[in-house]
């Protein structure tokens, strides 16, 4: 190895002289690149193992040592072999370095995978063992992800990574179920556990759920939240001014709650239509926005934003009057997806989120989440909500500040109009966080 370093020093010195010639004889500095004609360069393209790279390095070393001493460093013909071998040396050294790092990462990933398997075999299925196993699998996957796509180990690493990802998925599910156990107990206390869906997320993204990926019997007015999200997306991507006025078609008339301010056969700005859809749960405003956006656009955008289950297919209907072209497929969502929408809004992750948030904190109806938090003391504060209720479901998407941390709680009960039970679910979730002082891994500041 010392002799090889000495040879490299000679090459570097030669290159330094050559670069210095650029100022005196530019034609020498512009001489054609010669390394591609060397046999080792061609072999480098087809190398299949790290030991083959070591072999190429040894051959370069031997060739360097066989070079004659330079008598005239201004002679481009005499310098050319040095230039070629210097370039080859650099390329082979870089490739060896990459492959050695890849091999080390792969070996470490395999070692972590074995540790994860050992943890599984000896852990007995406890929550702490599951968490440790998940950590080890994910650490192994991270090592495999670090292997460059042009490495000799790339295909092998991709195959192993796919294998580990399939193994860790059910482990993560088991952890989620174990950590979400308190929500199952809360649902059971209602006496209607099969009808209840609950999702609670810290704004950082740490979430727990009970039947959160199973759609409730109906979204009711909760579907207005995803419509608002899609409207803000369209306004941002198509540079639409929210002060643009649109006409409220008479065909979109249906009954509204008392005090609603959107009327047919008039024009309103997009901002006001969206805001009233949320804060006063305006059905006419919702129906006009469904027409304005188009069902296909709404649903495609929701999928692109990461909400594959939420679907808008039906306009909102009051007590008796149906709007024109109400739709043929029912609306659909989940508490998991609604919670994630709300979480992103309160994190201001997308343009226009501040507009939706302003509407959420101006909610007219305070019978669900707001009332549920009363009596819990100064550490629990209502910071916004969207309610929904019809003959099939009652539910809410609630933003709440607990201590110094913010959470989103979404709860629904199928085939119920029992506001008391819904409020009890919300109170129980907040009380759990207050009592535990943490949210299964997300520690509250005290």
Rounded-to-integer distance, Cα 156 and Cα 116, Å: 19
Mean pLDDT to the nearest integer, 54-71: 82
Provide DSSP, 196-211. EEEEEEETTS-EEEES
Region of poorest pLDDT, from 96-100, 101-105, 159-163: 96-100
Rounded-to-integer distance, Cα 154 and Cα 174, Å: 31
Q: What is the pLDDT of residues 235-282, one digit of tens each?
A: 999 999 999 999 999 999 999 988 788 999 999 999 999 999 999 999
Closest by CA to 409, choosing from 423, 392, 393, 389, is 423
> Does the structure show a pLDDT above 60 at 2?
no
CATH topology of domain 181-436: Beta-lactamase (3.40.710)
Alpha carbons within 13 angstroms on the beta-carbon side of residue 379 total 16
> Does the structure show a pLDDT above 90 at 60?
no
Under 8 Å between Cβ of 165 and 184: no
Closest by CA to 229, choosing from 341, 358, 343, 312, is 341
Residue 439's pLDDT band, with cuts at 50, 70 and 90, is: low
Closest by CA to 430, choosing from 439, 421, 419, 417, is 439
Residue 14's pLDDT band, with cuts at 50, 70 and 90, is: very low
Q: Tell me, what DSSP letter sits at residue 441? A: S
Q: Tell me, what DSSP letter sits at residue 22? A: T
Q: Is the dihedral of CA 402, 398, 334, 426 positive or negative?
A: positive
- Please give the C-alpha separations between residue 251 and each of 6, 264, 284, in angstroms, as whole numbers: 87, 8, 9
Lay out the sheet containing 393-402: strands in order across: 207-210, 196-202, 405-414, 393-402, 380-389
Under 8 Å between Cβ of 286 and 315: yes
Under 8 Å between Cβ of 223 and 312: yes
Which residues, at least 6 apart from 188, have a Cβ–Cβ distance to it below 8 Å?
none
Q: What is the pLDDT of residues 129-166, one digit of tens each?
A: 999 999 999 999 999 999 999 999 999 999 999 999 99
pLDDT for the residue 443: 37
Closest by CA to 408, choosing from 344, 362, 333, is 344
Region of poorest pLDDT, from 165-174, 302-311, 339-348, 434-443: 434-443
Q: What is the pLDDT of residues 256-266, one digit of tens each?
A: 988 788 999 99
pLDDT for the residue 24: 37
Rounded-to-integer distance, Cα 260 and Cα 247, Å: 17
Q: Enter the tokens of residue 333.
A: 């969502």
**Cβ-count burial 280-306 (b if 16+ within 10 Å, e if not):** bbbbbbbbbbbbbbebeebbebbeebe
In terms of Cβ atoms closer than 10 Å to its own Cβ (0-12, 13-18, 19+), residue 147 is buried
Q: Enter the tokens of residue 432.
A: 């759990």
Rounded-to-integer distance, Cα 151 and Cα 285, Å: 56
Closest by CA to 164, choosing from 207, 200, 212, 115, is 115
């Amino acid at each position: 190895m010392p002799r090889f370093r000495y040879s490299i020093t000679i090459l570097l010195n030669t290159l330094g002289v050559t670069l210095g010639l650029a100022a005196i004889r530019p034609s020498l500095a512009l001489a054609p690149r010669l390394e591609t004609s060397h046999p080792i360069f061609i072999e480098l393209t087809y190398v299949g193992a790290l030991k083959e790279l070591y072999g190429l390095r040894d051959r370069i070393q031997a060739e360097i040592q066989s070079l004659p001493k330079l008598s005239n460093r201004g002679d481009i013909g005499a310098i050319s072999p040095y230039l070629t071998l210097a370039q080859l040396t650099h390329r082979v050294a870089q490739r060896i370095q990459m492959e050695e790092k890849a091999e080390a990462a792969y070996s470490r990933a395999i070692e972590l995978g074995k540790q994860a398997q050992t943890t599984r075999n000896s852990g007995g299925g406890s929550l702490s063992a599951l968490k440790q196993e998940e950590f080890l699998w994910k650490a192994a996957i991270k090592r495999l992800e670090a292997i460059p796509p042009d490495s000799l180990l790339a295909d092998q690493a991709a195959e192993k990574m796919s294998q580990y990802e399939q193994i860790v998925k059910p482990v993560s599910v088991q952890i989620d179920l174990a950590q979400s156990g308190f929500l199952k107990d809360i649902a059971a206390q209602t006496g209607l556990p099969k009808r209840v869906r609950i999702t609670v997320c810290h704004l950082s993204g740490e979430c727990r759920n009970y039947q959160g990926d199973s759609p409730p019997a109906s979204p009711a007015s909760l579907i207005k939240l995803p419509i608002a999200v899609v409207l803000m997306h369209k306004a941002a991507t198509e540079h639409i001014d929210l002060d643009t006025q649109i006409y409220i078609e008479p065909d979109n008339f249906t009954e509204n709650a008392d005090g609603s301010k959107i009327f047919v056969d008039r024009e309103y700005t997009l901002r006001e239509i969206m805001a009233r859809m949320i804060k006063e749960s305006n059905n006419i405003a919702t129906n006009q926005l469904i027409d304005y956006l188009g069902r296909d656009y709404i649903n495609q955008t929701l999928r692109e934003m990461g909400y594959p289950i939420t679907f808008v297919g039906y306009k909102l209907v009051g007590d008796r009057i149906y709007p024109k072209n109400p739709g043929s497929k029912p609306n659909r969502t989940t508490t998991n997806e609604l919670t994630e929408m709300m979480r992103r809004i309160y994190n201001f992750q997308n343009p226009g989120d501040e507009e939706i948030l302003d509407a959420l904190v101006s909610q007219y109806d305070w019978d669900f989440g707001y009332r549920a938090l009363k009596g819990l003391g100064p550490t629990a504060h209502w910071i916004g909500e969207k309610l929904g209720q019809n003959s099939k479901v009652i539910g809410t998407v609630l933003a709440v500040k607990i201590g110094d941390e913010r959470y989103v709680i979404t709860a629904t009960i199928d085939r119920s109009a029992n506001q008391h039970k819904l409020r009890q679910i919300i109170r129980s979730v907040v009380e759990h966080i207050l009592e535990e002082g943490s949210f299964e891994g997300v520690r509250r500041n005290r």
